Amino acid sequence: CRAETSVMVNACTGKMGHAVAEAVVRAGLDLIPFSITGESEAVVVGNVGVSGIPVQLVGADKRQQAISDIMRDKPGLIVVDFTLPGAVNENAKFYCDNGLPFVMGTTGGDRVQLTRDTEESGVYAVIAPQMGKQVVAFQATMEMMAQNFPGAFSGYKLSVRESHQRTKVDTSGTAKEIVRSFQQLGVEPFEVDAIQRVREAGQQMGEMHVPEKALSGHAFHTYHLTSPDGTVNFEFQHNVVGREIYAEGTVDAVLFLASKIKEKAEQRIFNMVDVLRAGAMR
C-alpha cells in the first residue's frame, strides 16, 4: 500500500504532528506538502520544514479548497490528526464530511460524538489516544489479566506515579486506564485522583531518572503494588523518552488503514489493539 498512500498531517507545526510527518517521510510514504493548522499560525508562519520538505500551512478558511484539490490529485489520501483537544470534533467532522479516512491521535474532545460522527459518515478511521504500540499491548494485557484473574491482587496496596513534560496539565489517560485494571484485580480502594503527577524537573530527574534532554518530552510511569503484609512487591514500569514511539505507531496505523480500505473491510473504525492484532507492525 505504501506507494499508493499519501498522508496529510495536521498539524505539522505541533510537536507530535512534526514527529509524525518525519516518520511518514522515513517510511517512504508520500507526505502531502500541506498541513491544516490554527488560523493565526497559517498566516504568520507560512510554511514549516519537514525533513527538507517545505509544508505549506493552511488556515481554516482555505482548508475546504485545499482538501478538494488534494483529493482530486491523490485518491489514496489518508489524514493524520494531532492537534488539540478543542479541535478534535470539528476536525473529525470536516474529514467525515469530505469522506476522508483519518487517523486521530489527538486526545480529548467529545469521544462519544467523535465515534458517532465517524460511524454515520462511513469513513475508515483509526482512533487512538495512545499510539505507542508496546504501551497499548501492555495496557491490553493488564485488561486481559483483570478479566481472566479478577481479584488476583486482592488487598494489595497500589501507588502510581507518572511523569510527563511540564506542559501536560492533566493526568495521563493511559495511567487512568491501567488503574482501572488494577481496581478489577482487587487492589485496596484507589481512585484515579490518587495518581501522582510529577511535573517538576528536580523530582523528574532525581526520583524518576528522567534524562535531562527528555524533560520537554517523556512519559515515565511506575505502578507499584505491595502485599497486605508487606512481604511481596510488584512493579510495572514503562518509560518513554521522546515522541518517536507514537510517531512510528501512527505510521503503522496509516498502513493498516490503507490495507483495510483496499480490502473494503466491513469494520470501519479501529483502535490500536486492532492494529496490533493484525500483526501490522513493521
Q: Considering the complex, what minimum distance in angstroms separates the CB of residue 131 from ligand NAD?
A: 3
Residue in the shown chain whose Cβ atom is closest to ligand NAD: 14
Tell me the C-alpha distance between 104 and 87, whole Å.
11
Among 164, 218, 221, 238, the one annotated catalytic: 164
- Residue (130 or 226) nearer to ligand NAD, CB: 130
C-alpha cell at 184: 478489577
Q: Are 253 and 103 in contact (CB under 8 A)?
A: yes
Task: Decide the pairing of beta strands 233-241 and 218-226.
Answer: antiparallel
From residue 24, give the alpha-carbon distance in Å to each of 17, 89, 210, 238, 268: 10, 24, 28, 25, 22
Smaller CB separation from ligand NAD, 11 or 158: 11
Whether 168 is catalytic is yes
Which parts of this chain interact with ligand NAD (CB under 6 A)? 10-11, 13-17, 36-38, 41, 82-85, 87, 91, 105-108, 128-132, 246
Rounded Cα distance, 3 and 23, in Å: 15
CB of 137 to ligand NAD, least distance (A): 13
Q: Which one is catalytic: 62, 93, 157, 168?
A: 168
Q: Decide if 264 is catalytic.
A: no
Q: How far is the CB of 84 from ligand NAD (least distance, A)?
A: 4
Nearest approach, Cβ of residue 32 and ligand NAD (Å): 14
Nearest to 178 by CA among 219, 208, 217, 136: 136
Q: State the minimum distance, in angstroms, from the CB of residue 158 to ligand NAD.
A: 24
DSSP alpha helices (H): ranges in the chain? 15-26, 39-45, 63-73, 88-97, 111-121, 133-148, 173-184, 201-206, 244-262, 272-277
What's the one-letter identity of residue 110?
D
- Any idea which residues carry the catalytic annotation? 164, 168
